[in-house]
Amino acid sequence: MVAPLKVGIAGLGTVGAEVIRLIETQARVLAGRSGRGIRVVAVTARSKAKKRNIDLRGVEWAKDPLALATHPEVDCFVELMGGAGDPALSAVEAALNAGKSVVTANKALLAKHGLKLAKAAEKHGGALNFEAAVGAAIPVIKTLREGLAGTGINRVYGILNGTCNYILTRMEQEGLSFAECLKDAQRLGYAEANPSFDVDGHDTAQKLAILASLAFGTKVAQSAVYVEGISSIAPEDLRAAADLGYRVKLLGVAVRTAKGIEQRVHPTMVPKTSSIAQVMGVTNAVTIDGEGIPPITLVGPGAGGAATASAVVADIADVARGIRANPFGRPIAQLRDTKKAPMERHEGGYYIRLLARDFPGTAAAIATRLAEQKISIESIVQRHPNGGAAPANGKAVPVPVILITYATHEDAVRRALAAVQKDKVISGRPQVIRIEKN
């Protein structure tokens, strides 16, 4: 009879406690699927006295994460503490160097130290599994690393942050401002007290760096990702998008181009008919464009204790089965360097919203500047305030003008808008949102 896999868990927050509950309640199913039992033998957390509503009788309490990682009775070290540095880093390194397998949900650790950790796993023979680090219950890591191992990937993109998707959904459906929706998201627990990591796009960037490595065989490099957040999005942008057949999402996009792998995070207009446009609220989604197959879209809960724990337990089951896949799909020596692709080289369609001053020659000046950069306009919408009636005070009111361009280069758009601003025919800064086609 095969001995059970002995598991040590560092971090007993919402996810860690749920992992223990799942291993206990699904013990028979896990043993049947894995060919052996799975047993939690030791744990550690910042507070031993905290009430967690889990049964830890018969489970040893290690003095610290490092002691747990090197515990002689632990076969698989599960890191659920979070953070890119210690104690998570030193504990995971110690476990891998001791030949143990590691399961983690720590995207920050992988985005910063993933290559070093994968190299240690490769050298010492343990597994390094991290399905829960991107999209929680969405099995995108296994899909890219194993399910599509024989398929060339051209593009992977998705909604990778539930907080941002929730805010944009509420803004669209209820006409609320970004600030109003953010405050509500904080009240409901979807956003942190300091929400910048989410709303400025950095959480999505960490996850995208991991996906890009798996999809394209590049070294994980968060510094190679261009990042914009959603704080500049206004309700009028969402209304205009709806009128034009689009919806605004914060996307992480990694795409193969003739100039290399482009990695970017920014608000994006996607056609309402696309699968990803239907994903609302805190739900996440990832679309994979592969050679010779239609696009594959995976949709599901991207966060939360139960969803994250289910992915962690699935990774533990893989360790129990004896699966030892290369963490990033290829041996470390085969992963290529990647550099940050300048956004100026990006090519695509653009949504541009201007507040044009209602003077003779304004439209001609804007058209001239766009033409100078060889930018072709697919559609133009002019929204006169008050239905075009003269203002009561007799003063000219800026007129919102919305342009949708055909595919062009980012540097051309930037040059044209800089010239328009210099001409002083618009008020304020132009709003620019990139368009991602199906």
Q: What percent of the chain clears pLDDT 90, i.e. is strictly above it?
A: 82
Domains observed in the chain: 5-136+308-334 (3.40.50.720), 140-301 (3.30.360.10), 344-435 (3.30.70.260)
The average confidence (pLDDT) of the chain is: 92
Q: What is the pTM of this model?
A: 0.93
Predicted local confidence at residue 413, as pLDDT = 96
In the chain, the amino acid numbered 400 is P
How does residue 388 score in pLDDT terms, banded at 50, 70 and 90? low
With beta carbons less than 8 A apart as the criterion, state whether 384 and 399 touch.
yes
Among 334, 321, 336, CA closest to 127:
321
> Mind listing the pLDDT tens digit for each residue in 218-232?
999 999 999 999 999
Q: Give the catalytic positions in this structure.
A: 207
In the chain, the amino acid numbered 242 is A
Average pLDDT of the residues in 284-297: 94
CA 66 to chain CA mean position, Å? 29
Long-range CB contacts for residues 26-29, cutoff 8 Å, separation at least 24 = 26/313
> Mind listing the pLDDT tens digit for each residue in 103-147?
999 999 999 999 999 999 999 999 999 999 999 889 999 999 999
For residues 76, 81, 87 and 91, what is the CA-based torsion angle, rounded to 10 degrees?
10
Q: What does the H/E/C string look like for 236-298? A: HHHHHHHHCCEEEEEEEEEEEECCEEEEEEEEEEEECCCCHHHCCCCEEEEEEEECCCCCEEE
Cα–Cα distance between 38 and 314 in angstroms, integer?
11
16 is written with which tokens?
A: 């860690």
How does residue 384 score in pLDDT terms, banded at 50, 70 and 90? low
What residue has token string 């929204």?
383
Cα–Cα distance between 113 and 90 in angstroms, integer?
11
Is pLDDT of 46 > 80?
Answer: yes
Average pLDDT of the residues in 56-72: 95
Predicted local confidence at residue 386, as pLDDT = 55
Cα–Cα distance between 76 and 324 in angstroms, integer?
13
> Mind listing the pLDDT tens digit for each residue in 236-246?
999 999 999 99
Residues 6+ apart with CB under 8 A from 355: 398, 399, 400, 401, 426, 427, 428
CB atoms within 10 A of CB 427: 13
Predicted local confidence at residue 343, as pLDDT = 84
Predicted local confidence at residue 73, as pLDDT = 96
Among 216, 205, 222, 196, CA closest to 265:
205
3 state DSSP class of 60: strand
Q: Which helix (H) or strand (E) holds 178?
A: helix 178-188
- The region, left, alpha or beta by phi > 0 then psi within -120 to 50, assigned to residue 299 is beta
344 is written with which tokens?
A: 């100026």
What residue has token string 């992915």?
311
